[in-house]
A and B are shown apart, each in its own frame.
Chain A
């Protein structure tokens, strides 16, 4: 049933329908509305979860780690500094192959402190062994949590999933969302039944010391699972479509007006809504432009990106994050995808926009298409304010 909901509330509702046994979180803007709503649901008896209020994100992640190891479905959510504070545990959860699902309400990283949206937080944790999926809108954000649990708890996978949604833009945005009915959720998402758990009836030790004779294979195993999972996502997407009637194709990328496109922007998250509108405007004027939206950033869908962009002459990769001192994060992947390939774009330029919540407008997108006409650029910042870069701050 379609409801007009705030993004955070929609997420809380869908998490309720997933029936996690343990929820733990620590407040950080803009994640707070999600966990406030869940706390209220528990308080009202609508949700039979244990809601553990912790003293830090490090403990929030540790609590869900312990809950998951005990064999129950778990949930946490965070943002920005909170994600960084739990980073140590984030890596640990993946290494222990625990199917935790977390929402990251994407927010900029300090300093300077800034509560607004970009994607630096989750992107900085790209090597942690978590799936990372990025929602364009709140319908996707809702659906990706269901898909996330299904994927994480798949016995072939057993890895955690981070559902990334742009802070404020999605978390605090009101949209009509088709909320999944409980019967359908129960059909799509079976009860969590782990292979191993902490249970006195069958004692196991978890989290052992692996010396050089054993450590590497554990990392290799995750790497292999990640690669294989690119295919599992298609299967899960098909099943999701059969239950809920929404088709996310292979869940890796979305192709928008790509067929004959000469200039293509590659981007991720809610900014793709704006880019689609800009593409429509340019198409109306006969310009052959398009969008390739990355949905799954980890594992990165190299083959799909190559396939989708093989006929595009010029590609602009738009990052809402930077790798200071190096190429921007998504741009690196797209360039790497084409290395050594015979067919592909002649130009892959990289642009950085929207850091710390600076609006990416239609005009920003048109400007990126314009800059794509000249020579190739790397980490070209768009919408900088020249007056703030004057020499009074320098020499």
Chain B
């Protein structure tokens, strides 16, 4: 890929990092007239180790959990200066800083109606600190704080329904996306910034280190998550489901066996059935099945 003036190469992301691809897609779609507030996390660390920065747009990092509030202040200042019409404001963070520690700040931002796009890069655990379980870690995932063992098959709860939580704030646009479908990310970001008000996009981003797959498997693994129904891609506009990525559902086992974090499930049909139920429920709920 060519070097991007808005998200420059030379950053220190791991090989095969889904978040790096997704973040680049987001800022390239949003364009140069954008200000970003970034939570603490992998993306912050690998793009801005002093004295270098990968960002070609104004970018600020304050703390782990407050990018939504910092972005609210940026947006308010731009309004005061009469510059909001021409400038996009993006707040972004990982799944932990979005769904756990930063949920309150995000809820405040959504509820107040700021004209901000919030992007959650969901790699399904606290990867920056060494793969600890977050509120967006899937059911039965083996992480360092939800390890599988004789008494446990990993994370005991399904993912917190963040898109639905965002939707419940009555905001005009909520979407999910995947690092496996980069053009789809860009289309959704462009649509989001064309809409005034708070927007929420959650992007599934594989982490080879935490998910334990080969670094060249990032795209196939991301696509498998979508194709088996475990990561449904959809769009809600003004509270109404307006689009979903149709799939010919593959069994979840194909997705699970591609990653070390689910290895403990492979000889346990009972647990695989529970994961399949989650996928089947998504397929029904979001009407994902393609017509034959």
With known contacts A62-B70, A206-B61, A50–B112 Cβ distance under 8 A:
no
* Distance from B171 Cβ to chain A, minimum over Cβ atoms (Å): 15
Q: Are the C-beta atoms of A67 and B48 separated by less than 8 Å? A: no
Do residues B74 and A69 form an inter-chain contact, with CB atoms below 8 A?
Answer: yes
**Could you say which residues of chain A place their CB within 8 Å of the CB of B228?**
none
| Interface locus among B100-108, B119-127, B172-180 | B100-108
Offer 17 A-B interface pairs, CB within 8 angstroms, sorted by A.
Answer: A21-B76, A22-B76, A24-B73, A52-B76, A54-B72, A55-B108, A59-B72, A59-B104, A62-B72, A65-B73, A71-B81, A92-B62, A92-B63, A200-B33, A200-B58, A207-B62, A209-B45
Chain A residue numbers with a CB within 8 Å of B56 are 203
A59 and B69 within 8 A (CB): yes
Chain B residues, Cβ within 8 Å of A208? 48-51, 53, 61
Contact B57 A62 (CB under 8 A): no
Which residues of chain A have C-beta atoms less than 8 A from B61's C-beta? 206-208
Asked whether A62 lies within 8 Å of B105 as measured between CB atoms, the reply is: yes
Check if A70 sits within 8 Å of B50, measured CB to CB.
no
User: In the assembled complex, how far is the CB of residue B74 from the closest CB belonging to chain A, in whole angstroms?
Assistant: 4
Cα distance, A89 to B69, chains bound together (Å): 11
Q: CB-defined interface of A59-86 with B at 8 Å, one 1/0 digit per residue?
A: 1001111111111101000000000000
Contact in complex: A21, B70 (CB < 8 Å) = no
Please measure, in the bound complex, the distance between the C-alpha atom of A68 and the C-alpha atom of B76, giving whole angstroms: 10
Confirm or deny: B79 has a beta carbon within 8 angstroms of a beta carbon on chain A. Answer: yes
Chain A contact residue count (CB 8 A cutoff): 42
Q: How many residues of B contact A (CB 8 A)?
A: 44
A72:B62 contact, CB within 8 angstroms: no
* Residues 22-76 (chain B) with a chain A CB within 8 angstroms: 32-35, 37, 44-45, 48-51, 53, 55-63, 65-66, 68-76
Minimal Cβ-Cβ distance residue in B for A53: B112
CB contact under 8 A between A66 and B53, given known A50-B77, A204-B58, A205-B48: no
Contact B108 A54 (CB under 8 A): yes
B78 within 8 A of A: yes
User: How near does chain B come to A95, taking the closest CB pair, in angstroms?
Assistant: 9
Q: Are A67 and B60 in contact (CB under 8 A)?
A: no
Q: What residue of chain A has the Cβ atom nearest to residue B48's Cβ? A: A208
- With both chains docked as a complex, state the minimum distance between the C-beta of B57 and any C-beta of chain A, in angstroms: 5
- Residues of A contacting B104 in the complex (Cβ-Cβ under 8 angstroms): 55-56, 58-59
Select A200's contact among B32, B65, B107, beta carbons within 8 Å: B32
Contact pattern, A 180-211, Cβ under 8 Å of B = 1, otherwise 0? 00000000000000000011100111111111
Chain A stretch 352-385: residues in CB contact (< 8 A) with chain B: none
User: 4 nearest interchain CB pairs?
Assistant: A66-B73, A62-B69, A70-B77, A207-B61
Tell yes or no: A88 within 8 A of B by CB.
Answer: yes
Most chain A beta carbons < 10 A, residue from B35, B66, B68, B104: B66
Complex CA–CA separation, A72 to B77 (angstroms): 6
Given contacts A48-B80, A66-B75, A208-B48, 9 further A-B contacts (CB under 8 A): A22-B73, A55-B104, A58-B105, A66-B69, A70-B78, A203-B57, A208-B49, A208-B51, A209-B50
Cβ of A211 and Cβ of B49 under 8 Å apart?
Answer: yes
- What is the 8 Å Cβ interface bit string for chain B, positions 72-113, against chain A (1 contact, 0 not)? 111111111100000100000000000000001101100110
> A210 — nearest CB in chain B belongs to which residue?
B50
Task: Report if A72-B81 is in contact (Cβ < 8 Å); known contacts: A67-B74, A200-B34, A207-B62.
Answer: yes
**Contact of A207 with B73 in the complex, beta carbons under 8 Å:** no
Q: Does A350 contact B (CB under 8 A)?
A: no
A230 close to chain B: CB less than 8 A: no
A265 to B53, CA, bound (A): 53
Instruction: State which residues 25-62 of A face B: CB under 8 Å.
Output: 48-50, 52-56, 58-59, 62
* A63 with B55: CB separation less than 8 A: no
Q: Which residues of A contact B34 (CB under 8 A)?
A: 200
- Measured between beta carbons, the chain B residues less than 8 angstroms from A207 are 48, 60-62
Q: Is the CB of B53 within 8 A of A22?
A: no
Q: Which residues of B contact A174 (CB under 8 A)?
A: none
B136 to chain A, nearest CB (A): 21
Q: Which residue of B lies closest to A93 (CB)?
A: B62
Q: Contact: A22 with B77, CB < 8 Å?
A: yes
Q: Give the contacting residue for A59; candidates B35, B58, B78, B108; CB below 8 A.
A: B108
**Closest beta carbon of chain B to A203's beta carbon, Å:** 5
In the bound complex, residues from chain B placing their C-beta under 8 Å from that of A220 are none
B63 touches A89 (CB 8 A): yes
A199–B59 Cα distance when bound, in Å, is: 9
A339 in the interface, Cβ–Cβ < 8 Å?
no
- Whole-angstrom distance between the Cβ of A231 and the nearest chain B Cβ: 30
Asked whether A393 is an interface residue with its Cβ less than 8 Å from the other chain, the reply is no
Residues of B within 8 A of A63 (CB): 69-70, 72-73, 76
- Judge whether A66 and B37 touch: CB under 8 Å: yes
Q: Which one of A53, A59, A71 contacts B77 once the chains associate, using CB atoms below 8 Å? A: A71
Do B35 and A50 touch (CB < 8 A)? no
Q: Which single member of B63, B65, B72 contacts A52 (CB below 8 Å)?
A: B72
Please give me the residue from chain A that is nearest to B78 by CB atom. A70
For residue A96, CB closer than 8 A to chain B, the reply is yes
Q: Which of A48, A65, A74, A198 contacts B35 (CB 8 A)?
A: A198
A203 and B63 contact, CB distance less than 8 A? no
Q: Given the known A-B contacts A56-B104, A89-B66, are A67 and B57 also in contact in the complex, defined by CB atoms under 8 Å?
A: no
Would B76 and A205 count as touching, CB distance under 8 A? no
Partner of A70, one of B63, B65, B73: B73
Residues in A with CB closer than 8 Å to B79 are 50
Q: Which residues of B contact A92 (CB under 8 A)?
A: 62-63
Task: Give chain B residues whose Cβ lies under 8 Å from the Cβ of A88.
Answer: 63
Q: How far is the CA of A24 from the CA of B76 in the complex (A)?
A: 10
Instruction: State the CA gap A59–B50 with chains docked (Å).
Output: 26
Q: Is there contact, CB below 8 Å, between A203 and B59?
A: yes
CB neighbors of B among A290-305 (8 A) = none
Whether B73 pairs with A64 at a CB distance below 8 angstroms is yes
Neighbouring B residues of A206 by C-beta, 8 Å: 59-61
- A residues less than 8 Å from B33 (CB atoms): 200
Instruction: Let me know if B58 and A198 touch, CB within 8 A.
Output: yes
CB distance from A101 to the nearest CB of B (A): 15
**With the chains together, A72 CA to B83 CA distance in Å?**
12
